[in-house]
Amino acid sequence: MSLNLHPMVNVAVKAARSAGSIINRASLDRDAVRISQKGANDFVTEIDQAAEQVIIDTLLGAYPGHAILAEESGRTQGSYDSEYVWIIDPLDGTTNFIHGLPVYCVSIALAVRGKVEHAVVYDPTRNDLFTATKGRGAYLNERRIRVSKRTMLKDSLISTGFPFRPGDDFETYLRMMGEVMQRTHGLRRPGSAALDLAYVAAGYTEGFFETGLQPWDVAAGSLLVTEAGGLVGNFTGEPDFLEQRELVAGTPRVYGQLVGILSKYSKFASTEQKMDVAAGRGTLSVNGGEAADDAA
């Protein structure tokens, strides 16, 4: 049965597949790809730029009055003041792509008056197409997807992203990661936040958390998660996360347990919580944290 996609999603799918074709062709001869450095450990390739341009051309060809927010070109194309904003990451997982590790994707979302309404995440190496429209569910290759049924953090597989920029608070992140790691079935770092979120939506993992993320990293994936029955927010559990550079997602029960661990590491944490983190205090009891959540 063919899925009846929203017309705007159909255009985004066309754009994502066109970008995926560019990425797949380039992956056959990665040594020929020109690479530039945006910052320490932060790279952009000519493939990111070519993929982004074909996405923008496709979207603006269909909707010339819409605005664009893209990783490489920012807001330089499209109508600046439209209430329709396409949020684009043409190649999420550039470092993986450069090394030939096949974990990367194209991420396209449409926000209407600041709220994400449509989402496409396309993995060109597997030809996996994730789509969602607000209120109409999330799909993988036209099959409805739901988050995992697991409810306990100790039974859950959680994904994350490591800090990699100078100035990132590595010590705090290691402490945070250690707290989560001891309470889970496993912790993974695949290297593409958009795919990490898509995998939570598909039930492959039970949760995801990371700091330092930009709107184009999480816009599409976050809608996939919520439309698949999961929850997304900042580390204190607030839903207004898109530009806050900290995000946690998961099945409803696992999300609650992750927030219980991560909230004190949030930039929105109370002064007392931040002092506890600085002093290495405030670690939750494993059983206590999960039992309390289970009783909720």
pLDDT value for 34: 86
Superfamily of domain 7-144: Fructose-1,6-Bisphosphatase, subunit A, domain 1 (3.30.540.10)
Please check whether the two domains, 7-144 and 153-295, share a CATH topology: no
Instruction: Specify the pLDDT at position 165.
Output: 66
Q: Say how far apart CA 179 and CA 198 lie, in whole Å.
A: 24
Tell me what pLDDT residue 296 has: 33
Task: Indicate the pTM of the whole model.
Answer: 0.90
Place of tokens 């923008």: 56
What is the model's pLDDT at position 147?
98
The number of beta carbons lying within 10 Å of the beta carbon of residue 259 is 21
pLDDT at 290: 39
Low-confidence ranges of the chain (pLDDT < 50): 1, 284-296
Provide the CB-side half-sphere exposure for 154 (13 A, CA): 9
Cα torsion angle, 26, 31, 32, 37, sign: positive
pLDDT given for residue 244 in this prediction:
87
For 201-219, the pLDDT digits (tens) are 999 999 999 998 999 999 9
* CATH code given to domain 153-295: 3.40.190.80
Going from N- to C-terminal start, the domains of the chain cover 7-144, 153-295
